[in-house]
Amino acid sequence: MDKNIKIAIIGAGPAGLSAGMYLEQKGYENYTILERNDHVGGKCHSPHYNGRRYEMGAIMGVPSYYAVHDVEEFCGITHDGPKLNRNYKDKHGKVIEPFNPKANILRAPHLLKMKNQMKKFAELLETKYKGYDVNGHRGVAQGRYDGYAVTPGREKVSGENPNLKDLALPFKEFCKLNGVDLVQEIWIGPFTSFGYGYFDEIPAAYVLKYLDFQTTMNFVNINLWTWKEGTQFIWESLNAKLKNHARLNSDITKVERKDGKVYITVNGTVEEYDKLIVTAPLQYFPDYADAREDEKDFFSKIDYERYDVLAVETKPEDHPEISYYVFDNMTPERVGHLMVYYRRWRDEVNQVITTYALRKHKDKPEIPYEQCKETVLCDLQDMGNPASAVVNEKSWYYFPHVFSKDYADGWYDKVEAMQGKYDTYYAGEVMSFGDMDETAEYSRELVDRFF
C-alpha cells in the first residue's frame, strides 16, 4: 500500500492511538486521529483529586501486556505507580479469606479440589485448546487460530484445532464441559468485577483471550503494573509522542464512502481521506456513517455492559485500609450491587475510593442508573466504609461483545472478511476484547495485515 495515503482514525482511545503508533512505525505518517472528547485515553480515564490522580476506568496492567509495553518503550515511560493489594469481604461486610484453608478448615477439601482443577485447566488450555490465547477471534468459530501468540516474542502462529469451537459456549458451560467448574472462582475476580459480565452469558473466548492462564496468574499473584499518573497517562504520553496528535473535540456528523475515497464531515467541514480505521464503538457507526446493509446487520448484534463507577470521599475514620472484593455480589442474582472498591493510594486517607458495579444481565431487566448508585452507596455502609460525598461518577459503554449464538455462527469471520471492503477497517474493543492491551494488540495486527 502507498505509504502516502491519507488515513483517518476515528477514536483516540488505546486502539486508535496504538493504530497511529504502529502505522507511524511502518512509515505511514499521513494519518489523522479524530476524537470527539476533549481528552484522549477512552476508558483509561484518570482525573485529579487533591494533587493526585485516581482511576475512573482501567486501573492496572500485568507483565503480559506486551502492546502496552510497546507504548511505554515508544514514549520512554514505565509503570511507576502505587503497589496494589486487596482483601475480601462477604456481602455483609465481614472480612473473609476465601482462598486460605487455614482460615476455614471446612473449606480445605473444596480448595484442594479447586487446586487440582486449576492444574487440569492449565493442561487443557495448553493441549486441547491450543491457540485459544492468540489475539482476536479470527477463525475460532471454524476451529482455527491465526494471530500473535501471548509470549514476549509474540510470534505469528496459525493452525487447525476443532476444539476451539467450544470457546463459543458461555464460560460457565465451557468449564462444566471440561470438568473444571471451580476455576470460575479464580477467574471471576479479574473478570466480572472488572465489568466484563457474568459467566453464564459471556462466551468463553472473551474470558480466555483476556484472561489467558499467564495473565490470570499475574492477577492472582498480584504481579501488577500501575502508573503514578494513571492509566490515562500512558495514552496522553503516546499522543504527545506521535507526529500527528489526536484532534480533540472532533464532532463527526457524516461519513460517506464513494469512488475509492472516504469523506468525513468534522465540525461542519468535509475532509477527504483514502482509508478509514474505525476504533470507536462499531455499534454506533451506522448512526453517522453510510453503513451498508452488511455493516448494519453485523453491528446490530453487538451488546455491551453497563458498568458504573463512583469516586467517593469518606471520613478519615471510615476510609478502607485496603481494596476489597465482594465475591457474593458477582453473581447475576446480585446484579446492581457493589462488586469491588479500590483504595489506590495507601499512604493518604484524603483521597477518593472508587466503586464498581454492573447493572445488566442479558436475561434480566436493566437496572436504572440511579437505583444502582443508591444500592452501591448502601453497600458501602454495609462494608463499614460509608461515603460522605460522591465526587465523580461515570456509566460506561463497556465491553462490546456478541453472545454465543452469533459467535458460533461466525460473526467474527464475517466481519473480518469485510476488512478493507469499503476502504474501511474495523478495530477497537469488539474486535478483540475490552481491555487496553487487547485493543492495542489488535491494532498492531491490523496494521501488520493490511498496511
- 3-state SS assignment for residue 394: strand
Q: What is the pLDDT of residue 104?
A: 82
Joined grid coordinates for residue 236: 496522553
pTM: 0.95
Residue ranges matching CATH 3.50.50.60 in the chain: 7-82+227-302+402-450
Q: What is the pLDDT of residue 102?
A: 87
Classify domain 7-82+227-302+402-450 at the CATH topology level.
Answer: FAD/NAD(P)-binding domain (3.50.50)
- For 220-235, the pLDDT digits (tens) are 999 999 999 999 999 9
Q: What is the pLDDT of residue 412?
A: 98
CA dihedral over 142, 147, 152, 155, signed as positive or negative: positive
Joined grid coordinates for residue 296: 448494519
What are the backbone dihedrals phi and psi of residue 342, each rounded to the nearest 5 degrees, phi first?
-115, 135
Task: Provide the CATH number for the domain formed by 85-108+184-193+211-223+303-401 in this structure.
Answer: 3.30.70.1990
Joined grid coordinates for residue 378: 448502601
Percent residues over pLDDT 70 in the chain: 100
- What distance in Å separates the CA atoms of residue 355 and residue 350, rounded to the nearest whole number? 16
- What distance in Å separates the CA atoms of residue 130 and residue 254, rounded to the nearest whole number? 43
- 114 neighbors 101 (Cβ within 8 angstroms): no
Residue ranges matching CATH 3.30.70.1990 in the chain: 85-108+184-193+211-223+303-401
Q: What is the pLDDT of residue 38?
A: 97
The mean pLDDT of 150-162, rounded to a whole number, is 93
DSSP state of 31: E
Q: What is the pLDDT of residue 150?
A: 86
Q: Predicted confidence band at 1 (pLDDT cuts at 50, 70, 90)?
A: confident
The mean pLDDT of 247-255, rounded to a whole number, is 98
Give one DSSP letter per residue of 148-173, joined into a string.
Answer: E-SSTT--EEEEE-GGGGGGGSBHHH
The mean pLDDT of 65-89, rounded to a whole number, is 96
Which residues, in sequence order, are CB contacts of 143 under 8 Å at separation 6+?
160, 161, 162, 163, 164, 165
Joined grid coordinates for residue 242: 506521535
Joined grid coordinates for residue 46: 484518570
- For 281-295, the pLDDT digits (tens) are 999 999 999 999 999
- 292 neighbors 50 (Cβ within 8 angstroms): no
* C-alpha dihedral (239, 444, 299, 425), degrees to nearest 10: 90
- 91 neighbors 329 (Cβ within 8 angstroms): yes
What is the SS3 string spanning 84-129? CCEEEECCCCCEECCCCCCCCHHHHHHHHHHHHHHHHHHHHHHCCC
